[in-house]
Amino acid sequence: MIQINDLTISYREQPVLWDIDEEFPSGKLSAIIGPNGAGKSTLLKAILGLVQPLSGQITIQKKSVKEYLGLIAYVPQKGNIDWDFPTTAFDLVLMGTYRSLSWFRRPGKLQKQKTEAALKRVGMWDFRDRQISQLSGGQQQRLFLARALVQDAPIFLLDEPFQGVDIPTEETILSLFQELRNQGKTVIAIHHDLGMVQKYFDWVLMLNVQKIVSGEVSKVFTKENLEKTYASKGDFLILPKLQDKELSNPISNSKLI
């Protein structure tokens, strides 16, 4: 679905991503993990065409950035959103339908029906008239998930969708991920909860400026690969109990991310 070849990105001559080759599988839940400053968000922005690579190429279904943007629904980090923007929950989700409309055409009955269905799917219909600044962090995240849903895209990119959410929202997100996978959608999410990655995701890319390893979670999610991913940054790491693998104690000299 997504092919990345020889991707290198630098900020002020400092490499953020270095010589990345990766292929994300179609119709799977894929996680990107790594320490702070590993280049995870930069990788998503590169796929979206928001940052200019120093070298390399990204294609989706053999299409270039300009051609494939209509295939992607994107959920950014909550910290990158202006929550004081004067709009209601309903209107924010309705904005997700704009890309399917021609110039100067206003959203009609169909777009409003899709918005209603998406709000109900994430449990936010009762808050449809609420200003977005009046919502909790979990409710705000649900709104952006709903906005992604109405785009009806085959690919979903999510930048730390579980950050700062409550347990009901976490359960809603996980249920939604599984539903999208069952529909054949491709979901790629940056995530920090290693236990959740191992339990719910199919594919994982371990990143630390360079690609450390990628593959099926059942095959590459090992203590050795996790240590390689996090050790060079000096971040604290508490490993989850690996399924079907011996891991008597977490790393004693590691730090909690």
Return the residue matching tokens 């839940």: 29
Whole-model pTM: value is 0.84
Could you give all domains of the chain from N- to C-terminal order, each with its CATH number? 2-231 (3.40.50.300)
Task: Choose the weakest-confidence range: 95-99, 112-116, 153-157, 201-205.
Answer: 95-99
The identity of residue 83, as a single letter, is W
Q: What is the pLDDT of residue 250?
A: 31
Task: Choose the weakest-confidence range: 110-114, 153-157, 190-194, 233-237.
Answer: 233-237
How many CB atoms are closer than 10 A to CB 16? 19
What length is written for the chain? 257
What is the C-alpha separation between 2 and 100, in angstroms, rounded?
Answer: 22
Cα–Cα distance list, 50 to 142, 147, 186 (Å): 24, 19, 20
Angle at 192 between CA 188 and CA 193, to 5 degrees: 100
The residues, ordered by sequence, that sit 6+ positions from 249 with a Cβ below 8 Å of its Cβ are none
Picking from 42, 114, 53, 44, the residue whose alpha carbon sits closest to that of residue 73 is 44
